[in-house]
Structure 1
Amino acid sequence: MWILLWISQVSLWTLSSATVHLDVVNQWNYLSFDLPYHFTSASEIRLDNTVFTGLEISDDRIFIATPRLRAGVPATLSTIPRHVPPGSGPTLSAYPSWQLHGPMRGNVNCSQLISVYRMKMDSCHRLWVGVEWFLDIDKIVENCMLLPTSKVVL
């Protein structure tokens, strides 16, 4: 028992004494979006409900997944430029366009992106998107249950 405690203490001491240097690439207090002028009213947008759960880096941009875990997330798949000044917080652009993103709440259109959770870019630069349905699950099931299973490749 004492040997186990001693090994644990030595391990923790070793980890705490190791120095790791991380560079800040981008930072935000809240993620911000470049909303089109005709977009929904600003009162429906809740930037404090927007968190990113996945990112994928390409040659010229970074793809960011922001699932709709709660109401008020304007876009669920976005991009930012890859080469920006260190420490900046660029605005997110809906990918591939604002028209492909479903409503933040209300009527659900199953041909639009509802809630992107993860993504992966393959060697041919195709973006494979994993979708999770969190908001209005009853309405989504009601509207989308009879649709065939589909793959979204962007």
Structure 2
Amino acid sequence: MSGNVLTNPVLKTVKVKGEDRQICELRVMCSEYKSDGNGGYVQDDTRTFPVQVTIWHEGTAKRVYEVVRVGASVNVIGATYVRPWVNEQSNQAEAGVCMDAEKVTLGLQRVEAVQYRAKAQPDAQRATESAPAAF
């Protein structure tokens, strides 16, 4: 899943098998993709939804908390599930998409390839630059 971060990550301490562990939670806005009919896919802007992401690996959780901010593009790999709850204000049953992340990487929204070439130097200048200095 990939998308843009909706909230700054929150670092929490929870008990896991009797030990304290730091986890990180954040929300990511995702979009579904649909077939374009030519073997490719296009983003379906009408079907966007927030995903509650929980990072259980302590090292990854701390790093995401330090680096990721609102608006960042991220790619998340992990288990996705639907979690139901009751809205306390309306007393209605609701559900949301959640994900237990195994891996989180920053997304590249725009990549530019630039090729650098060394300036050509005259042979005489190149010879003096590479010659050892005289003492």
Q: Settle same-fold status: TM greater than 0.5.
A: no
Greater Cα radius of gyration, structure 1 or 2: 2
User: TM-score with structure 2 length normalisation?
Assistant: 0.28
User: TM-score with structure 1 length normalisation?
Assistant: 0.25
Counting helix residues as a fraction of each chain, which structure ranks higher?
1
**Greater length-normalized contact order (CA 8 Å, ≥ 6 residues apart):** 2
